[in-house]
Structure 1
Amino acid sequence: ELVDQELRKLSLFRPGGTISRDDIADLVPETVPGSAWAFLDAVGTRRPREASTLAERLLADAVPIQVLVAQLHRRLRELVIVREHVDSGVHGGALVRAMKLQPFRAQKLEEQARRWSSDGLQRALDGLLELDLASKGIALDGSTRQTSEPRTSLHLQQWLAESLLPAG
């Protein structure tokens, strides 16, 4: 029913014309406001291009950078914990019990954690702290620094590249 409704809306927007991807993006809301979940999954699985695109979309949809930073922090913290469990031989059902997670969620986090080294996760968390401070106009040394939405967006993109691209 929802699909039919959206198709009718699109047909009224361009009667007899061709509907473009931009028309769809402008008129059809996300079925699941899950681009934040998709963004976190792209970060967790270290897909920088997808994470970058989704971050831009979230910021364009007026999601505050501080919200993204908080969500990223939580996901990275979960990955650190899962990585520690995996490194000590805990996985599958034992991970579900140890972390008190639903099996699907535990499996997903385990798959993501395996894509990261412990050092890589720590570097990502350190960079995230700098991003968080920068978004609030604070430098690492505690002094104030100039901030703006474009600057903060660029800082997020830099963090994504530095954290998600393979070290080389």
Structure 2
Amino acid sequence: SGLGNNSFELAVQPLPSGLKFVGVDDNKTLGKLYDRILFRKLLHAGESITLGKLPEEIDEATEVILGTKNAELMASSICKPADVVVLDQHLDSYTGKRPLVQRGTEIAAALHRQGFKGFVCLVSGGSDEDLKEYLKAPGVHMAASKADDMPALAQQIKIGYWENEKLR
């Protein structure tokens, strides 16, 4: 289709239909916003899963993203891997009933090691310097601020998705 390098062209290019989106955030409100507004309304997801309300959802997010488990955290052979992933950088989790902060960059690195081909966006309340640092992590394609509004985040994800597709 001859996509140019122009970000505007990429931003207006609709995403393919039927994409699977997975969001991982321990903030319930943000999880709902990702699901209903960002994924479904703005990016027209074919399938949308948000994880993070429960610690075990964070602990098993990698398997859901890779498609080996479904949204209910059950093993599944019919799930497909996610196409687009939005990861919070600081995720409150538990291991052996002990509090643990998991990092979105750690999940992205695990996905990268396992050959994940989808697009990974990291979101954080950190500084611009923090965001630049997160971009250096293996498997992270984009880092965005939690202060960005949903339409702006959707545009950034569209541009990043198409740029990533050109590199595959």
**TM-score above 0.5:** no
> Between Structure 1 and Structure 2, which shows a larger proportion of strand residues?
2
Report the TM-score, using the length of structure 1 for normalisation: 0.29
**Which of the two has higher C-alpha Rg?**
1
* TM, length-normalised to structure 2: 0.29
More helix by share: 1
Say which structure, 1 or 2, has more relative contact order (CA 8 Å, 6+ apart).
1
